[in-house]
Structure 1
């Protein structure tokens, strides 16, 4: 993007007193930012009022410095991009939103934003051990099926979801609430670098933007907007994850929720979503079938040991009690193959049979 065009976009976005709504009105009325600033203040006033028009007459403080910083950031790495509403690479799904971000900063593979299968995974920053395991295993299974997992790089479920997708060798997208020259939380610095190498990190906030509390609920609309559906793994009743789910529903996207213990506060948000019409899911296969996402590869009747040495059937079981039918749906194995493998795992002490025909993976597995 030429410097003059970049400067016009930053001037529009960084001018104090001109919010995103006013900027959007100006773009609708006059076209691209360079064209906006070719008009006189009287024309601006008729669109956004006197106060905002007056603010636009002055250049934002340090505008040239901000343009220099952004150009230097872009020049450092060919996998860094700035996408505006008029860019051909701007995700079309976001254009369908009521309030699409005017500018997106991207670190990584920009084509990940156009992946044909994208699913948001969100949940608690303080999940139960089972919730964190569920997030990682669902993301791993979805990644193996050719799905790009979209999440928010937060602690807990978000981090586990990104990790599961990366371990499956799949792209994953992190939508963050800071400038892309910062990583928050800091303990996810290594994870962020891996996401940038295998997928993409996305923000609507300028470089240097700190982790302000108001930014995280705002970025949730992008997580929902980029995805064909949203899976809530664990969430309290009052949580940002439910905001993401509501935004997804408002945008006409599917919402899925994993049920949990009636005694766990972290399950109550998912249960509330299910009561409101979210789809209860027990396996990644439930989501793939509902969204008509065809897996990238079939198990072909055989379950192998994963590269890290973990049995794929044990991974499919998770740690919650599971029925034979549900396990068969997750794995695609016929009854004879599945029963034979389960008997082997029982004899090894990795699986136990429970009353009611349920099976459960034991902790030593």
Structure 2
């Protein structure tokens, strides 16, 4: 049976929905709590939101045809919501009330432990072999790979994981209809036909690190490119544990200096997951200063 709350989350927060405006994302936890408390029918949901003071979301739900559109999307299994069984729980830990409450999906996410696989598109043969080994080892350990689906390091890890029969979650920085795929599970914040954009890519990168128990960087370029900027942003925001393939390049040495760990071989993945996190953050001093400024 279709969940009323999931339909409402799809109606309010999916990009590409036929609504005239977007409500603030931060309000979704209160909306979910109110709807669970009152358990209204779809037709009564707008009034329930008004009673809790959520006037704009209530008005949006009254947009002609919006709820019927959202109900179809949920019934077609095209929507991943915060209430879905496979929704990465680490997103809630990493992002709190700005975690995405509804995204587009192709396929069904399993409840799983995820390993992030990121790296340069124009990767060296050594980096590609390393990432293939990572994907195979993750599958052997019963883990799943989450990546951005780019050529190079991402694709190498994905291919090895799929060949072992394990799921791959691909987070895309554009609409799902622009890259149909039957092998990987694909998820995107973007509307189905929405083109690539830099803001989508940046948020996609954060979601990879936020979903993963451990993210492995196969190759990067010093101070440029999506891999470098995604990894440094994740280190600054402490989105999860990050390790690198220690190839002695300036970029890898730089990420280690910023707080990333080393994963000498993909065969060490199990040990890395079991180890107590000791990752230091160069940004810890900055964070302490911010807390002191706020009086925390």
TM-score scaled by length of structure 2: 0.72
Q: 1:291 aligns with which of 257, 273, 277?
A: 273
CA distance in 1 between counterparts of 2:69 and 2:122 reads 36
Question: How many residue pairs align between the two structures?
Answer: 261
Match of 1:97 in 2: 94
CA distance in 2 between counterparts of 1:101 and 1:288 reads 29
Structure 2: gaps spanning 5 or more residues: 276-296
Match of 2:28 in 1: 24
1:277 maps onto 2:277 in alignment: no
What is the CA-CA distance between 1:102 and the residue it aligns to? 0.6
CA distance in 2 between counterparts of 1:54 and 1:65 reads 16
- Structure 1 or 2, whichever has the larger Rg, is 1
What is the CA-CA distance between 1:230 and the residue it aligns to? 0.7
Contact 2:210-2:239 at 8 Å conserved across structures: no
Aligned pairs for 1:1-365 within 5 A: 2=2, 8-13=8-13, 14=17, 15-24=19-28, 27=31, 30-31=34-35, 37-38=46-47, 39-40=49-50, 43-44=53-54, 53=56, 56=59, 63=66, 66-67=69-70, 70=73, 74-75=75-76, 80=77, 82-98=79-95, 99-111=98-110, 114-115=111-112, 117-183=113-179, 192-195=181-184, 200-236=185-221, 237-246=223-232, 248-249=234-235, 250-251=237-238, 253-260=240-247, 267-292=249-274
User: The residue matched to 2:183 in structure 1 has which SS?
Assistant: helix
Match of 1:345 in 2: none
Contact 1:140-1:168 at 8 Å conserved across structures: yes
CA distance in 1 between counterparts of 2:198 and 2:58 reads 26
What is the CA-CA distance between 1:4 and the residue it aligns to? 6.3
CA distance in 1 between counterparts of 2:33 and 2:67 reads 26
Q: 1:57 to 1:92 in 2, by over 3 A?
A: closer
Q: 1:64 to 1:36 in 2, by over 3 A?
A: closer
Contact 2:232-2:255 at 8 Å conserved across structures: no
User: The residue matched to 1:214 in structure 2 has which SS?
Assistant: helix
CA distance in 2 between counterparts of 1:5 and 1:118 reads 26
CA distance in 1 between counterparts of 2:139 and 2:166 reads 5
CA distance in 2 between counterparts of 1:29 and 1:146 reads 34
CA distance in 1 between counterparts of 2:243 and 2:253 reads 11
What is the CA-CA distance between 1:156 and the residue it aligns to? 1.8
Contact 1:220-1:243 at 8 Å conserved across structures: no
Match of 1:311 in 2: none
TM-score scaled by length of structure 1: 0.60
User: Cα RMSD (Å) of the superposition?
Assistant: 3.4
